[in-house]
Amino acid sequence: MPFQKNDLKLFSGNANLQLATRVAEYMGLKLGDCQVKRFADGEINVKINETVRGHDVFVLQSFSPPVNENLMEMLIMVDAFKRASANSVAVVIPYYGYARQDRKARGRDPITAKLVANLITVAGATRVLTVDLHADQIQGFFDLPVDNLLSFPVFAKEISSKYGEDDLVVVAPDVGAVKRASKFAAKLEIPLAILDKRRPADNIAEVVNVIGNVKGKTAIMFDDIIDTAGTLLEGADALQKAGAKRIIACAAHGILSQDAVSKIVESDLEIVYLTDTIFHDNLPDKFCIVSVANLLGEAIIRIRKNLSVSILFR
């Protein structure tokens, strides 16, 4: 049921206006009137062109490249809404950047995911809604409610409709992705395989073993992020050598840095499914985008009505 005009308002930064528009349409709302531009020196200039006094405001902004620009846009928007006397300001972050810097892997490493959480809290946000956090413990970095939505039901629906007759196996690209991939495999009621991966350096991955039976099967590599595509392509090569019949991939967040797109196009991957948490224009045919707009819209409605959000993943 659409909300009354004065109950809830949804605004968007510049990172993903397309997704924000689809979320608003699902909720039966018109996207809020807010201009996010730049001053001559590059500083961010936010203008809210409608009243938000007493309203529950949701701000949608992905921390996609350029990450720092989009992060700063959101922080300034939150501050503007709080100073305009909004009743609450929840931030909807489909892709939470800096999430991979969540612990001290080496001496003197920063924990930037925690720093970003502090910035969001200090800016005045009252709640966080995100999709497929890279590490679950990031929810504990906030001193406010965090809802981490999971994209695997969206992918499961797509895979079931197109590959339901195949002999399928879900493949976790590394040990750290097993929990995420196992939920996807359970949803599809198919087995799980694991790639034993080593990282000799940042953004470099080497697969040394395939744990599980993939021979003659359609292998579905399932991860949360595709960045430079190094992990993906190493995994696809290992699966092909292990006898997989077809290799496809699903990932919530397609960052696609550097020449990732061209590498994927030239690879043996049949197709790569991504969500629209990060906006891309004119991707090649080897990519297929599935939308999380309805998932986000339903979650926002449930938060606003104080209903369960976790029920969306049962």
Q: What is the extent of the structural domain holding 103?
A: 8-150+293-313
Q: Choose the catalytic residue: 157, 197, 217, 245.
A: 197
CA atoms of 189 and 268, how far apart (whole Å):
26
Q: Are residues 267 and 215 in the same domain?
A: yes
**Does residue 131 share a domain with residue 229?**
no
Is the residue at 213 inside a domain? yes
Q: What is the pLDDT of residues 74-126, one digit of tens each?
A: 999 999 999 999 999 999 999 999 999 999 988 999 999 999 999 999 999 99
Domain-embedded: residue 1: no
67 domain-assigned: yes
Domain count of the fold of the chain: 2
The answer on 121 and 234 residing in a single domain is no
For this structure, is 197 an active site residue? yes
Considering the domain architecture, whether residues 124 and 206 belong to the same structural domain is answered as no
The SS3 of residue 80 is: helix
Quote the pTM value: 0.93
Yes or no: say if 286 and 306 are a contact pair by the CB < 8 Å rule.
Answer: no
Please give the Cα distance from 62 to 13 (Å, whole number).
Answer: 8
Answer whether residue 197 shows pLDDT above 80. Answer: no
Instruction: Tell me the CATH number at 261.
Output: 3.40.50.2020
Q: For position 249, what pLDDT does the model report?
A: 98
What is the distance, to the nearest Å, from the Cα of residue 112 to the centroid of all Cα atoms in its chain?
A: 18
Say yes or no: 235 and 298 in one domain: no
